[in-house]
Copies of this chain bind each other. A is one copy, B any other.
Amino acid sequence: MPAAASTPRTRVRRAPKRGVYDRAQIHAILDEALVCHVGFVHEAQPYVIPTLHARVAAVVYLHGSTASRMVRTLASGAPCSLTVTLLDGIVLARSAFHHSANYRSVTILGRATVVASDDERLRALRAFTDHLVPGRWEHVRPPDRKEMKATQVLALALDEASAKIRTGPPVDDEEDMQRDVWAGEIPLALRAAQPRPDPQLSAGIAVPEHVSAWSASARDDPQRSSLAR
């Protein structure tokens, strides 16, 4: 396996055939996931916090209030882990033991750094907004000085990262194959419903194309195994 971003700590050991170290695949999973889970230690207690992220080139950005525990801990240079997981299906086997899930996940290990440059901070904030809905940034009011000041932006380099992917049907033991049990997969995907306008929206503002296109692309094809971005 090409192990560009792999180290002994990120190599997938328990189910090595599920391990993926290809940067393009790692990037695609990070981009499709809207939410990540960040792990860090505060006063000897590990925490796992869901938060929004955005990738630009080989960096994943996080952001938050300068007062948040996660932001303060990461800004101190403490080691952290960032994981995203896309759940693609439930795998139903003939035996309880071989039940599983189909999924694509990425785990990054490292230490985040505080982004100091205002240019890079603004680029990152744009990436967060456009990661939620592509093209959104150019339609909204950009952050003002007070908002920029209240927001800490952190960068985590993709130096040490790996993906784990499971696809396909169950893998049952040979001696169970003839059992009279239905086996297969229930495909799952995060899907969008119709956009719901803010009840306080001014009259006459229609759903813009960047919103309708995004939510339609996440609604169109019920057989697709994942949310298109």
Do residues A188 and B190 form an inter-chain contact, with CB atoms below 8 A? yes
Decide if A59 is an interface residue (CB 8 Å cutoff).
no
On whether A143 and B96 interact (CB within 8 A), knowing A83-B48, A205-B181, the answer reads yes
Partner of A200 from B52, B80, B177 at Cβ < 8 Å: B177
In the bound complex, CA of A171 to CA of B143 (Å)? 15
Asked whether A193 is an interface residue with its Cβ less than 8 Å from the other chain, the reply is yes
Smallest beta-carbon distance A228→chain B, Å:
13
- Contact check, B182 vs A52: say whether CB atoms are below 8 A apart: no
Q: Are A192's CB and B186's CB within 8 A?
A: yes
Q: How far is the CA of A214 from the CA of B182 in the complex (A)?
A: 14
Interface string of A89-131 (1 = CB under 8 A from B): 1101111110101010101010000000000000001101100
Contacts of A201 in B (CB 8 A): 182-184
Q: How far is the CB of A215 from chain B (nearest CB, A)?
A: 5
Nearest to A178 among chain B residues (CB) is: B202
A151→B178 CA distance, assembly (Å): 25
A interface with B by C-beta (< 8 Å)? 9, 13-14, 34-35, 37-41, 44-50, 52, 64-65, 67-69, 79-83, 85, 87, 89-90, 92-97, 99, 101, 103, 105, 107, 109, 125-126, 128-129, 132-133, 136-137, 139-144, 147, 151, 169-170, 176-202, 205-208, 211, 214-215, 218-219, 222-225
Q: List 5 A-B contacts (CB under 8 A).
A: A47-B107, A50-B105, A141-B179, A185-B198, A186-B192
